Structure 1
């Protein structure tokens, strides 16, 4: 939405608060990933959706000289492409690609679900799954609101990914075929397909009902009292003549001091002559404003929305 596109929040790397980002950019990264899955699905269809009528070992001997034409006519009737060559069965590298696609999709949903779960932690509390009026969070802790849908997605993604290894092994058969692929495929195809479809629907519902706690988003963004914006000041100092190495060291030691003494970084920097020789206190306050340090995040989101618009029609 237009609101989340510009909703500034704390960026995190290694689980630690870093420079600001926006929820719009986070969601755009997921949307871009989903669009690549749509592209992959379209690209793999002609490789995966094929048929064959080639006989016991692939020679079409029982069909005579017209075997190729018979196969083509049959596949035309079915609306799928014929294989170029095969033995008794279609080579399973095609189906392995399908299962790897499902695993890739499931992993994207797993990634989204994990981020939502992290952001719903009590001590972070920036996002939350929608919670029904009569929904029970815990049988023993009545106050709980658990991200159970995201947890379900993350859990079932493991099952979908587990299909990849047997799907690859199903391509390794004796000579013109054996039956070692048959029994696992009777489980893999319905289970992986149904579960991927299910977790897609669950995650769509989660995203549609996602709740934002703007108070906590802002609180976490400001938690380090400017220390997470040290990069902004460092870059400006180098622009104004301080060496890059010196600027880094000044900001490193000032940041450690601010954290140790529980003070605003701007206050610490304002007491350092090597910094005030380049920037004023008013300029420091502006450089440490998180809303002013999101770079091209909004423009990137807008460009992606424009690019993906045809997929939404």
Structure 2
């Protein structure tokens, strides 16, 4: 059963959210990436998670059906993490397992650091550590975070282009090409699947305008080095070998920065959620949440 809800997260900011699964199951909150609607979590993946969880996904502000008002009411990136807490409050959830992807992985780290009492566990996908701790390579070399591998050049070039208005089919073409780049080079790219996912996002949103609010939001004040190093929130970090945004060893660095974090590799994965990764990713998440649900 799907249940929609509108949540007043801040003055003038209303968020769309949806819950699926048994009302009495442990809650799992899905936090998407920058400028990505909650519908970006594919239904097929959500269905796998619903087998053991009451799953909540939601639209960030300036995405999907949530309030688009950055020009009138600009906000810092940290406000998006507080929105996640507001979503839990809106559903009456005291503690939840949280899974964050890309920017959502950074927001999950903010929740680990700032709201540990609200988390049963955390899973972080495709993101960088909010920590200044150097990465210690297998040979013992210590590498400052700013010297770790960067974003693939073709993505940087695409992201540097100005946001322009396109007709629907041209916008879908653009988004499919974006997903092709994000998916990496180890799994076959299914353009039809990516197009259908984005068409569902457009239908859900009600328009196909592109946004860039999250890229313009103030990203200062996000360092959580000390809090991550002493956290007791059980954290799982996924390793995506074809990741073009936060390539290895970023996951390894993140696992070193977050106290007690564990790594799990998802074969062939890039910075996307194609069909091929649904089963292994869901299995990894469910194994992690099961380990930290007992007795709750």
Q: Going by fraction, where is strand more abundant, 1 or 2? A: 2
Q: In which range does the TM-score fall when normalised by the shorter chain? A: under 0.3
Q: Going by fraction, where is helix more abundant, 1 or 2? A: 1
Q: Given the two structures, how large is their TM-score scaled by the length of structure 1?
A: 0.19
Q: Given the two structures, how large is their TM-score scaled by the length of structure 2?
A: 0.20
